[in-house]
Every structure is written in structure tokens, then in C-alpha cells.
Structure 1
Amino acid sequence: MAMRGLFWLVLLFAAAVAIAILGHFDVGHVLIVYDPYRIDVSLNFAVLAIIVTFVVLHVLIRAIRNLWKMPERVAAYRARARASKAHAALRDALANLYSGRFSRAEKAAHDARLLTENGAPAAVIGALAAHQMHEYARRDEWLEKIGDKDWQDARLMTSAEMRADARDAEGALNALAQLESQGVRRLQAQQIALRAHQQLKHWPEVLKLVKQLEKREAIHPAVALRLRQLAAENLLRDRRHDPVALLECWDGLPLTERQTPRIADLAAELLLRLERPKEARKIVEDALAQQWDARLLRRYADCAGAEALPLIQRAEAWQTDHPDDADLKFTLGRLCLHQQLWGKAQAFLEQSLALAGDNDILKVRCHRALARLHEELGHTGEASAHYRESALAIKLT
């Protein structure tokens, strides 16, 4: 602006200088005859009069034009003021929303909707603010105000996420179904669907979604592992009254889940409750072949059924690779107790007790097993001593 003003000032001085120089050369006259009038003026005066007349007429026309357009300009000014206020309100709404001032955010969203083009984003912010205040009816009113076609995906995705957050899993899945019907398949939609199916305990869908999210590296491996295990456990528990359905479910699980000690132990426990020790034994043996685990070893002793000799032989073969495993010795002791091999049972249990170290829980179990063994043999004193040792091994915290 300063350079522009300087330019016009220089131009004005140049014009003044030019007029002053030309004023010395007054060699012509202008004669205007309009009967009965006669006007005779110098050429310089005539030129100056023409210029002044032009300037006056120009200024007059501009003034009339400005007066004519004054209502339109006032309306445009007011529209710009409203738009500026609405944009400022939209910025305030967004800032207040992420600052945790949800009431202010909702109020600012109302002000932002004064401008039509701000209607959809302001409604989304208002819905989010109302949701954070647990005003779910008002949240839904905000969402219904989003009529712009370009914002329908945002409305449905926001609705699904908020409903999943509020544990309205059915509502979240309905919103996601509308998105999917429009051909929308986004990563965020799968993450929301995972939460909703988990809330509804749709474990087959949970397993499916976890697998999809793992392929896209959209879920932490530890979280994925826990969800897979949780889904597998619940699928097995849901079929705990039907051995056929339970075994079908087990066979349908991914290999990684079937090799997990926690899942294999649960499956074996449920089968043992249904009096299916052979199937339980196979599950435990397959899982131990993949991962050596004390919990599975303890469960193996429960799989003896009517005949424990095959299990004793299998467990004794494991001693080659695990000669000093206290849990394996304890399992062998329990199996020998089941088969009434008193001498071998006592030897294995005493070996397990010697190898137990700081494992107080294993010490308690060994002492109790030895106490029961001595009770079977009629050794009351030894049984009482082991019961006493088991009680002393229990550490209360």
C-alpha cells in the first residue's frame, strides 16, 4: 500500500509539472458560438475545463452508483460477518472438544451452524461433545442433522464408533452394515466391528476380524493373541455340554490356538468333565509335543481314565528329554498312585519334592499326594506328617 501511494504521489507531481510547463504555451483559442451567445476562451482553459468536468462527472456517477448498491453491499458485509463468526465458532468448537470442554464445544457447534457449509462438520462435533457427556438422545439429534451426501460416510462411521464406545453393539453394527452396503470397507470399520462383536460375544466373528486385522498389521500382536485365546476359550465353553460339538469346535480352531497350553488345558478339562479321557489325553500330548508346560503335565495325570499304564509309559519316555523336571516327576507319581504302584509313586513324588526348589505350590501338592499314599498303605503317622508339611508350605500373603 505504501508503494502504491508513493506511485500516485509521484504521478500527481509529474502531472502538475506538465500542466505548469504547458501553461506557458498559450497560443491557441477556442471559440464557441451559440446564437446569440459567443464564448471565446484560451485553449489551455478549455482543456482544463474538459478535464475538470470529466473528473466531476466521474465522481458524481460513482457516488450515485455506490448509493444505489448500498443495500447490496450492506447485505454482503453482514453475510461476511456471519461467515467469519461461524468459522470462528467452528474452530472454537473443535478446540473445546479436544480440550475436554464438551459443553462449550456443543454451544460453539450451534453457532457454527449459522453458516450452511459448516452444518455437517458442526453437527459431527456437536454429536461427539454430547456423546462425551452421555447425552445420547441429543447425540442422535445432532447426527440426524447431517443431511449432506458427502458427509454420510462420516456420519455412519462416527455413529458406529460412539455406539460401540457406549456398548450399544447392535447400533454400531447396524451403522457399519449401512456403510458396507455402500461398498465402504475401511480399516477403522473393522476395528469398530471387532469391539462390537466382542461385546456381543460373537466369537467366530472376533476370530475372523482379528485374522484380517493381523494381515493389515492394524492390531498389536499381544492384543491379537489375547483376543484369539479369549475367543477360543469362549467357543469351547459354549459347547461344554456336548462332546461332539466340543470336538468339532476344537478341530475347527487354528493350529496356533490348539497348540497354546492354556487352550489345550481348557479343552482337556472340558472333555474330562464329559468323560472323554482318550480325546483329552490326545489333546494334551499334541500340545506338549509343541510346547512343554507344567499346567499340561498336571492335566495329563487326570487323563488316565481306567488304565494309566500307557500314560505312565509315555511320561517315562519324556524323562529322556526332561530328566530333572519336577512337574513331570509329580505327574508320574500321580499316575502311579492311580495304578496303585505304591513304590514307584512314592519314589517319583519324593524326587519331585526334592526338585521343587522354591515352587511352594508344587511342594504342597507333593506332600498331599504322599499323605494320601501313606493313608492307602495305613501309615497314619507318615500321612499326618505330610499333611502338616503341606500346611506349613502354604504361604499366606
Structure 2
Amino acid sequence: MRIVVVVIGALLVAVLATLYATEHPGYVLIARPPWSIEMSLTVFLLLFVAGAVLLFLALYLLVRLLRIPRDVSRWRDRRSARQARQSLTQGLVRLAEGNWAESEAQFLASMRHAEVPLLSYLGAACANQGHGNIEKRDEYLAGAHRAAPQHHLAIGMTQANLQYIAHQSEQALATLTELRNVAPRHKQVLKLLAQLYLELRDWTNLADLAPELRKQGVMTPKEIDALELRAHRELLVLTLPSGSLEVLKKAWNAVPKQLRRHPALIAIYARQLISQNEMGCAEALLRPAIEQEWDEALVELYGHVRTDTPAEQLETAESWLGPHPDDPKLMLTLGRLAIYNRLDQKARGYLERCLSLRGPVEAYRELGALLERLGEKDRALACYRRGLELYGEELRLPVVPSGAGFVPRQRAVR
């Protein structure tokens, strides 16, 4: 519709111009002795327009002829860039398919004409990783660094991931350490670094990294808590020679305050204190922890502490009978403390009560040793035998899932 209106308008203007030129023809005189040219104004205007058009066409053709080399070069560049994109796409497709050789060939083809061949180098590195050519993989990664040094982080993360997949843990750790200096808050750098520390069992660095993981939200709080707890647990259970109390205390002081209330870590630290014969420190650690939050593992461990004031220790444990009258672990601890206080009959009562509550198998050994010392050898032998039978049954029981892995299903004493 718009074209029709334009055509009609153009015809109308032409008709009006023609009518005006017919009524007022006018004339143009161009004189230059000895010649002169005279013509109507209408003819002059037509010739002027025709000449201008011809001049414009001549100039346009001349410019186009002069630009032919540049236009050909641009056309070739566009064709090369299009072919490079197609080769890159095909390389990524072959890489996803696991066709390593053809993928590398496509990436090589795309490198020749790509403006920034970063993706081609990284893709070729991944392809060589796929068919196990580690040396050539590293050559492509070095080429990526040369081609696009401004993308150091992207290249470094690719390199670290490939090294991690290839089980080159030490090399991956070196790469990630360098990247962390460049981008200390990068989430993927921190996450992969935590995985490497865990794989290398580098508990000290993993414990130091945990606060940054939490601050940057790299993992869920539950996952970070589990990592931090495991790191400090492993640091505390390290085998220490006798007299290494300062090393042990340093490891405990490095534990965050919120984790020092965790029963599992308290139990590990207490066992280490007992093994170092620091009974007073162990008792001072366990007693308030038990009174603050009841934990059967800590209660049982309290029975292994041998302080210089055994009567006070037994009195403290007996004070827990009020809120926990039927706790078998508490009965076992009371029996052990009573034995330590040489209160044999009281110890016997506590141990028998423990067994009646289907307590741990260790109660049979403690009661058997007590009966043997009291001269009741037949009953002692029966306790030992029953304890061995139950222990054998526990060994034959299937494992069941636990929050900390797979552990044998515990069986109560009968």
C-alpha cells in the first residue's frame, strides 16, 4: 500500500512539473566566445540530472574497483571465521561423544582461523586427557596460556580439574594454590582445594580452609561441619609419643570453640590425655562435658580415668544415678570406679546391674576379673565364656549404615 501511494505521488509531481514547464519553459544561455549554447530550462535540468547520475555511477564503480582487495580479504576472513566456528562446534560434539582423535582434529582446524583460540586449546587438552596423552595435554594448556593470558583463571581451573581427574593430586594442588593467590574467594577453587586436601589427608590445611569455605558459602553448612569435624578429629587422633602433651594441647586449642563441645572430639582428646597419663586433665574435661550434655561414650570413658582422688570421682559418677538410673554405660563406669576404690561388693552390684540392663560386652570381662579376684573362679569362667560368645556373635552380625560410614550392628548383652 505504501508503494502505491509513493508511485502515485511521484506521477502527480511529474505531471505538475511537466505542465509548469510547458507554460513557463524558460531558457538557459551558456556563452563562451566564439561559442554559445541556448536551451530550455527543462532540457538543461534533465541533462544536469543525467550527468550527475552518470558521474556518481562512475565514481562508485571506481571506488568499488579500488576496494576489491579489501573486500576479498574481508570475505575470506568471514569464511574462515565461519569455518572455525563450525570446526569448534564439531570438536565439542565429538568431545562429548568420547571420540578423542576426531575431536582433537576438529579443534586443531578451528585454531588456525579463530580470533581467540582459547576454547580450541582447552578442548584439545580435554581430548588428549581422554585418550591418556598427558604430555600433549600440557602442551595445549601451555598454548592456551600463550594465546589468552588474560584468561588465566579459566585456563588454570581447567588444568586443575584435568589434573585432579588424572589423579595428579600434587600437581593439581600446586595449580590451585597459585589460583588461590590470584582469586582467593573463588568458590570452585576453594571447593576443589578442599577435595584435594581431603584426598591427600592434609588435615591441617583442611581445618584452616574450613572457615573460608563457610564464609564464601562454597558448600552447605552441614557438609562444611562434617569436613571440619573430620579434620580436627584426625589431627587429634594422630599417634603421639609419650611426653607430647604440648603438641596435643596445641591441636586441641586449634579446634574452634563450637566444636570443642562436640562429644566425639571431647572423647578423642580425653583418650589422648589418658594415654599421656594426664588423668587430672582428662577428668576435668569429661566431668563438665557429661554434666552439660549426657553422652554414653563420654560416661564410659570416665570410668577409665584414674585420678589421685578416686573417692571423689566415684561420688561424682554416683550423682548421675538420679537422672540416669537405668543407663548400662553408667553402671559399667560405676563398677570400674568402685573397683579402683577397692569397693569390690559395690563394684559387683554395679556390674551385675549393667548386665541385667543388657549393657556392653566389656562388663563380662570386668565382672569375671572381679569374681576371679574374689575366689569365685567357676563364676568368673562362666562370665568370660559368655562374654566371648556374645563378642563372637557381634562379629558375625551384618553391617548397617551409620552417619559416619558402615559400622557393625551393636548387640545388647543378654
The aligned counterpart of 1:62 is 60
Cα deviation, residue 210, structure 1: 0.3
Q: 1:276 to 1:142 in 2, by over 3 A?
A: same
Cα deviation, residue 294, structure 1: 1.6
The aligned counterpart of 2:408 is none
The aligned counterpart of 2:338 is 336
Structure 1 alignment gaps of length 5 or more: 357-361
- What do the CA deviations read for 1:136-195 (whole angstroms, capped 9, x no partner)? 33332222122334212333344344434544444344334544555x422323334333
Aligned AA (1:174): A
1:366 maps to 2:366: no
Cα deviation, residue 70, structure 1: 2.3
The aligned counterpart of 1:382 is 379
User: In 1, Cα distance between the equivalents of 2:157 and 2:222?
Assistant: 26
Cα deviation, residue 74, structure 1: 1.7
Q: 1:363 to 1:265 in 2, by over 3 A?
A: closer
Two-structure CA RMSD over aligned residues (Å): 3.9
Q: 1:64 to 1:12 in 2, by over 3 A?
A: farther
Moved more, 166-175 or 206-215: 166-175
Cα deviation, residue 325, structure 1: 1.6
Moved more, 370-379 or 39-48: 39-48
Aligned AA (1:186): R
Q: 1:239 to 1:355 in 2, by over 3 A?
A: closer
User: In 2, Cα distance between the equivalents of 1:13 and 1:75?
Assistant: 44
Cα deviation, residue 328, structure 1: 0.3
The aligned counterpart of 1:118 is 116
User: In 1, Cα distance between the equivalents of 2:349 and 2:258?
Assistant: 37
CA contact under 8 A between 1:236 and 1:267: conserved in structure 2? yes
The percentage of counterpart residues that share the same residue type is 26
Cα deviation, residue 329, structure 1: 0.8
Moved more, 134-143 or 383-392: 383-392
CA contact under 8 A between 1:26 and 1:44: conserved in structure 2? no
- Corresponding residue SS for 1:259: coil
Q: Which of 128, 133, 136 is residue 134 of structure 2 equivalent to? A: 136
The aligned counterpart of 1:345 is 347
The aligned counterpart of 2:403 is none
Q: Which of 71, 82, 85 is residue 83 of structure 2 equivalent to? A: 85
Q: 1:30 to 1:231 in 2, by over 3 A?
A: closer
Q: 1:324 to 1:208 in 2, by over 3 A?
A: same
User: In 1, Cα distance between the equivalents of 2:4 and 2:190?
Assistant: 64
CA contact under 8 A between 2:180 and 2:186: conserved in structure 1? no
CA contact under 8 A between 1:86 and 1:111: conserved in structure 2? yes
User: In 2, Cα distance between the equivalents of 1:304 and 1:60?
Assistant: 112
Aligned length: 388
User: In 2, Cα distance between the equivalents of 1:157 and 1:389?
Assistant: 60
User: In 2, Cα distance between the equivalents of 1:114 and 1:11?
Assistant: 56
User: In 2, Cα distance between the equivalents of 1:291 and 1:197?
Assistant: 32
Cα deviation, residue 83, structure 1: 2.2
- Corresponding residue SS for 1:240: coil
User: In 2, Cα distance between the equivalents of 1:127 and 1:388?
Assistant: 65
Q: 1:7 to 1:55 in 2, by over 3 A?
A: farther
Q: 1:217 to 1:61 in 2, by over 3 A?
A: closer
The aligned counterpart of 1:326 is 328
- Corresponding residue SS for 1:241: coil
User: In 2, Cα distance between the equivalents of 1:68 and 1:291?
Assistant: 91
Aligned AA (1:67): L
Cα deviation, residue 296, structure 1: 1.9
- What do the CA deviations read for 1:341-366 (whole angstroms, capped 9, x no partner)? 3321221122223333xxxxx35333
User: In 1, Cα distance between the equivalents of 2:12 and 2:133?
Assistant: 72
The aligned counterpart of 1:203 is 203
Q: 1:71 to 1:216 in 2, by over 3 A?
A: closer
User: In 2, Cα distance between the equivalents of 1:161 and 1:286?
Assistant: 47
